[in-house]
Amino acid sequence: MAADLHDPVALFDELRSAGLAVVGCASTGRIDWAAPPTPAQLGTAQAVLAAHDPGRRAREESARLAEARDLVARFDALDEGERRRLLRLVSMRVFGIS
């Protein structure tokens, strides 16, 4: 069995963003085409595969989670009055209250 070398969700998005008519792909790099690809489309797909960073999406999600944890920790460090003021400001912003 071939090793998993690609993030199929990110790879699919990258292939579609490159204008390729694909209907799916696999972590092994297999591409499922909507129709037989032209030589130019195969070349584009190879370029996308070569540029693909399989760990990018996981790193970005990890960074977002770290930011969220930091935000929760900062909120937890506020005293009750600061929390109420902050929540009021957020509510005003979200609901357009001035």
Is pLDDT at 2 greater than 80 in this prediction? no
Is pLDDT at 3 greater than 60 in this prediction? no
Residue 66: phi, psi to the nearest 5?
Answer: -65, -40
Task: Identify the burial level of 45 via C-beta atoms within 10 angstroms of its C-beta, where 0-12 means exposed, 13-18 middle and 19 or more buried.
Answer: buried
The pLDDT confidence band at residue 97, using thresholds 50, 70 and 90, is: confident
Residue 14 C-alpha from the chain's centroid: 11
Is pLDDT at 1 greater than 50 in this prediction? no
For the chain, the domains span 8-54, 58-95
Share of the chain above pLDDT 70, in %: 95
Length of the chain: 98
Q: Which two tokens stand for residue 81?
A: 């009055």
pLDDT in tens, 20-59: 999 999 999 999 999 999 999 999 999 999 999 999 988 9
* Rounded Cα distance, 73 and 66, in Å: 10
